[in-house]
Chain A
């Protein structure tokens, strides 16, 4: 989706820095980069002023999440060296004017939408950070199962016993031969969210824990996996719906294209995370 972003930068500017920062911004519900989702429409930089236009899948996308994404984009841009001002636009979103006015002036959601209650937004964000944690964990569990790890082994595994070697993870437990675990990226994603949630990341901590840091017993692991699996399916299905909608918007805007919308969108099912 990066190819669809309209860019306008000074000739000597390293664009990867700004695009890299934007790629760090996630849709809070979909737990995916807004760049990969196709939500970034254009990025412009004139002297020290960055200007980003987002295009969400519909003009009705949740205002609270739209606000969070716009705010996160602004913070991401202001981290880039040489950027001192940032303006975020939300295209034809139904609350574009209110959100833009608030975010671009550094107002919080609570200040911009006092009648909506700020506490519930923070709680909602935490709910989705936790859901994302379980979904990232489900992908890890799936790979461990494919690698042949039995539930008691998975539950006993400590962070210090799984390491990253090239693109893969290796498991080394006392008294057992080393074995491959799964993809390094899956583990990194999981550990990143684990740290964001303030959970124990010491070598001695168990690899698979709930969002309060408690490990699972082997007999509870299956039920936990089944629940996390449903969360993952809900999230990935929603993500694919949003992608289909946003790619349609790009299609209608790109009047020169003769392809049909469904042919144009190239994103396919993430077989890497769903094949068993």
Chain B
């Protein structure tokens, strides 16, 4: 909960991780270079006082995470965006199995995302069904650029992807988080491309597609799609981090998103532990859209809009009644603001 001028703002961190990138878990040289790349993002865009030692960044553990999000970081609930990377990490980077450990400790605090890989085809169906039956999966996080046995990625509109989406929908899943952003080894297949979201969003109108990192570096392509598809949302992680080092670009990105998508489709995410919600939220709440951008885009980042971005939009997607949820959270042992 963030409090400003007597207003309480409910915060859902729509994109965060509880990863294990300890050297013992590195399966190949890519395990190391992956986490070093994340660490570069962290070091380059965080305020100096928020930069961690590399060792802590590799494995920070559940309690550090709970402190950084819920005790000092103003976050009320958080979405665990499972990322597997079994080609890089022996036990995975942060699979739903790993993520469920902290979810089980604080069940009301977390929404857990599972995943599928359509390249498993028929052979993966049973495991996918079992994952949804055995774990409290409330959304999916899909990573179309993930390496697999020589393949460098897949697309949301592949026939097998549609089969899995149908199964997810039948199991009651509503929200599909799609990683479209700075990515792994994109070759000429251009894994940055966001157009596959357009097909899936049209063909699955009952599902919501939250495009993580707003398609950066393809913000423009993302905006055209999201402006046309009522069920495509903007996940703001990575874009959020510009608020500190590059506030002008942050303003321009937000102005464009408000211009094309409006205030009801933008969802806050920190990408913790790459960046921490405490400084992101403090700087976001202090940020005002410059006057020239307000005029040019006919948009504003009002307190009401900030409130939507920080929590209300994601709460709506996941059917969370904020008042009822707050009552539950007060009983779960994490002292808010304590």
Contact = CB atoms under 8 A, between A and B. Distances in A.
Interface string A215-251: 0000000000011011101111110110011011100
B186 interface: yes
Given A244-B245, A274-B252, A238 B188 contact: no
B303 interface: no
Nearest to B219: A234
A262 interface: yes
Contact of A117 (B185, B189, B295): B189
Contacts, number: 119
A42 interface: no
A123 to B, nearest CB: 9
A113 interface: yes
Interface residues of A, number: 46
Contacts of B185: 60, 63, 94-95
A275 B218 contact: no
B37 A60 contact: yes
B155 to A, nearest CB: 13
Interface string B174-200: 000000001111111110100000000
Interface residues of B, number: 43
Interface string B222-262: 01100000000000000100100110110011001001100
B252 A233 contact: yes
Contacts of B204: none
B292 interface: yes
Contacts of B45: 241, 244
B218 A60 contact: no
Interface string A116-144: 11101100100000010000000000000
A29 interface: yes
A116 B33 CA distance: 22
B188 A120 contact: yes
Interface of A: 29, 57-60, 62-64, 92, 94-95, 109, 113, 116-118, 120-121, 124, 131, 226-227, 229-231, 233-238, 240-241, 244-245, 247-249, 260-262, 269, 271, 274-276
17 contacts: A60-B34, A62-B192, A63-B187, A94-B185, A120-B189, A131-B220, A229-B256, A230-B260, A233-B220, A236-B252, A241-B44, A244-B245, A269-B246, A269-B248, A271-B248, A274-B248, A275-B292
Interface of B: 30, 33-34, 36-37, 40-41, 43-45, 47-48, 182-190, 192, 216-220, 223-224, 239, 242, 245-246, 248-249, 252-253, 256, 259-260, 292, 295-296
- 5 closest pairs, A vs B, by CB? A234-B219, A269-B248, A238-B217, A244-B44, A116-B188
